[in-house]
Protein backbone atom coordinates (compact mmCIF):
# COMPACT_ATOMS: atom_id res chain seq x y z
CA UNK A 1 0.00 0.00 0.00
CA UNK A 2 1.26 3.45 -0.85
CA UNK A 3 0.60 6.18 1.68
CA UNK A 4 1.25 9.74 0.64
CA UNK A 5 1.33 12.46 3.24
CA UNK A 6 1.41 16.20 2.80
CA UNK A 7 2.26 18.25 5.85
CA UNK A 8 1.75 21.96 5.43
CA UNK A 9 2.51 24.62 8.01
CA UNK A 10 1.34 28.19 7.49
CA UNK A 11 1.74 31.49 9.27
CA UNK A 12 5.28 32.19 10.36
CA UNK A 13 6.39 28.97 8.73
CA UNK A 14 4.75 26.46 6.46
CA UNK A 15 5.81 22.90 5.69
CA UNK A 16 4.47 20.60 2.98
CA UNK A 17 5.61 16.99 2.80
CA UNK A 18 4.35 14.36 0.42
CA UNK A 19 5.02 10.76 1.37
CA UNK A 20 3.98 7.48 -0.21
CA UNK A 21 3.99 3.85 0.84
CA UNK A 22 3.43 1.25 -1.86
CA UNK A 23 2.53 -2.32 -0.76
CA UNK A 24 3.45 -3.79 -4.14
CA UNK A 25 7.16 -3.17 -3.72
CA UNK A 26 9.75 -3.97 -1.12
CA UNK A 27 13.08 -2.42 -0.29
CA UNK A 28 14.97 -0.61 2.39
CA UNK A 29 15.51 2.57 0.41
CA UNK A 30 13.36 5.64 0.21
CA UNK A 31 12.37 6.60 -3.34
CA UNK A 32 11.38 10.02 -4.62
CA UNK A 33 8.67 11.00 -7.08
CA UNK A 34 5.48 12.96 -7.66
CA UNK A 35 2.17 12.11 -5.94
CA UNK A 36 0.09 9.49 -7.74
CA UNK A 37 -2.01 10.80 -10.65
CA UNK A 38 -5.25 9.57 -9.04
CA UNK A 39 -4.84 11.90 -6.03
CA UNK A 40 -7.22 14.85 -5.91
CA UNK A 41 -5.60 17.44 -3.68
CA UNK A 42 -8.10 19.33 -1.57
CA UNK A 43 -7.60 23.09 -1.44
CA UNK A 44 -5.68 24.08 1.65
CA UNK A 45 -6.06 27.15 3.77
CA UNK A 46 -3.51 28.92 5.95
CA UNK A 47 -6.05 30.83 8.03
CA UNK A 48 -7.60 29.85 11.34
CA UNK A 49 -9.31 31.55 14.25
CA UNK A 50 -7.02 29.66 16.65
CA UNK A 51 -4.16 31.88 17.79
CA UNK A 52 -2.81 29.89 20.76
CA UNK A 53 -2.34 26.21 21.52
CA UNK A 54 -0.10 24.43 24.03
CA UNK A 55 1.58 22.46 21.22
CA UNK A 56 2.47 25.65 19.33
CA UNK A 57 0.71 24.42 16.19
CA UNK A 58 -2.75 23.65 14.84
CA UNK A 59 -3.91 21.27 12.10
CA UNK A 60 -5.83 23.09 9.34
CA UNK A 61 -6.43 20.10 7.06
CA UNK A 62 -6.25 16.32 7.29
CA UNK A 63 -6.87 14.62 3.95
CA UNK A 64 -6.69 10.83 3.46
CA UNK A 65 -7.42 9.12 0.14
CA UNK A 66 -7.21 5.45 -0.84
CA UNK A 67 -7.12 3.71 -4.21
CA UNK A 68 -8.09 0.15 -3.28
CA UNK A 69 -7.35 -1.31 -6.73
CA UNK A 70 -3.78 0.03 -6.67
CA UNK A 71 -3.34 -0.66 -2.94
CA UNK A 72 -2.24 2.92 -2.48
CA UNK A 73 -3.20 5.60 0.00
CA UNK A 74 -2.51 9.32 0.16
CA UNK A 75 -2.49 11.44 3.30
CA UNK A 76 -2.08 15.18 3.53
CA UNK A 77 -2.02 17.36 6.61
CA UNK A 78 -1.90 21.15 6.74
CA UNK A 79 -0.42 22.54 9.93
CA UNK A 80 -0.05 26.14 11.00
CA UNK A 81 2.78 27.00 13.37
CA UNK A 82 1.59 29.33 16.12
CA UNK A 83 4.63 29.53 18.37
CA UNK A 84 8.31 28.58 18.67
CA UNK A 85 7.59 25.19 20.25
CA UNK A 86 5.56 24.37 17.13
CA UNK A 87 8.61 25.08 15.00
CA UNK A 88 10.75 22.64 16.96
CA UNK A 89 8.03 19.99 16.77
CA UNK A 90 8.07 20.25 12.96
CA UNK A 91 11.85 20.26 12.53
CA UNK A 92 11.89 16.59 11.63
CA UNK A 93 9.50 14.09 10.11
CA UNK A 94 9.60 10.42 11.19
CA UNK A 95 7.97 8.04 8.74
CA UNK A 96 7.77 4.31 9.50
CA UNK A 97 7.26 1.56 6.95
CA UNK A 98 7.61 -2.21 6.63
CA UNK A 99 10.27 -2.84 3.92
CA UNK A 100 9.25 -6.47 3.28
CA UNK A 101 6.01 -5.32 1.65
CA UNK A 102 6.09 -1.51 1.51
CA UNK A 103 8.13 1.08 -0.35
CA UNK A 104 8.29 4.61 1.02
CA UNK A 105 8.06 7.38 -1.56
CA UNK A 106 8.73 10.99 -0.63
CA UNK A 107 6.98 13.39 -2.96
CA UNK A 108 8.11 16.71 -1.51
CA UNK A 109 8.85 18.74 1.59
CA UNK A 110 8.06 22.43 1.25
CA UNK A 111 8.01 25.34 3.62
CA UNK A 112 5.49 28.11 3.14
CA UNK A 113 6.89 31.34 4.59
CA UNK A 114 5.47 34.81 3.96
CA UNK A 115 3.47 33.48 1.00
CA UNK A 116 6.55 31.98 -0.66
CA UNK A 117 6.91 28.20 -1.13
CA UNK A 118 10.41 26.83 -0.50
CA UNK A 119 11.46 23.28 -1.43
CA UNK A 120 13.13 21.44 1.45
CA UNK A 121 13.34 17.82 0.26
CA UNK A 122 17.03 16.98 0.21
CA UNK A 123 17.66 13.24 -0.28
CA UNK A 124 21.09 13.64 1.32
CA UNK A 125 19.38 14.66 4.57
CA UNK A 126 16.96 11.72 4.68
CA UNK A 127 18.21 8.99 7.01
CA UNK A 128 16.71 5.50 7.17
CA UNK A 129 17.21 3.43 10.30
CA UNK A 130 15.85 0.34 12.01
CA UNK A 131 14.45 0.95 15.47
CA UNK A 132 13.17 -2.11 17.26
CA UNK A 133 10.92 -0.90 20.07
CA UNK A 134 10.58 -4.28 21.76
CA UNK A 135 14.10 -5.67 21.26
CA UNK A 136 14.53 -6.09 25.01
CA UNK A 137 11.69 -8.62 24.95
CA UNK A 138 13.15 -10.42 21.93
CA UNK A 139 10.47 -9.03 19.58
CA UNK A 140 11.61 -7.69 16.22
CA UNK A 141 9.13 -6.27 13.71
CA UNK A 142 11.54 -5.24 10.93
CA UNK A 143 10.02 -1.79 10.46
CA UNK A 144 12.21 1.03 9.21
CA UNK A 145 11.94 4.71 10.00
CA UNK A 146 12.88 7.45 7.56
CA UNK A 147 13.97 10.61 9.35
CA UNK A 148 13.57 13.78 7.29
CA UNK A 149 15.35 16.80 8.74
CA UNK A 150 13.58 20.02 7.78
CA UNK A 151 15.75 23.12 7.76
Residue ranges in the chain modelled with pLDDT below 70: 1-28, 132-140
Name residue 129's beta-bridge partners. Answer: 145
Angle value at C-alpha 37, between 124 and 11, nearest 5 degrees: 60
Question: Interior CA angle at 118 toward 116 and 120, to 5°?
Answer: 160
pLDDT for res 37: 92
Given a contact cutoff of 8 angstroms between Cβ atoms, the answer to whether 104 and 24 are in contact is: no
pLDDT of amino acid 13: 38
Q: Nearest CA to 94 among 136, 63, 128, 43?
A: 128
The pTM is what? 0.72
Say what the pLDDT of residue 70 is: 86
Amino acid sequence: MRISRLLRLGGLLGLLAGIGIDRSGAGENVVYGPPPAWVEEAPATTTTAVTKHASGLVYLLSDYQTDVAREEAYQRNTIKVLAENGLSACGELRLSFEPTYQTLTLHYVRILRDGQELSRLDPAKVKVFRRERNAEAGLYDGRLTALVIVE
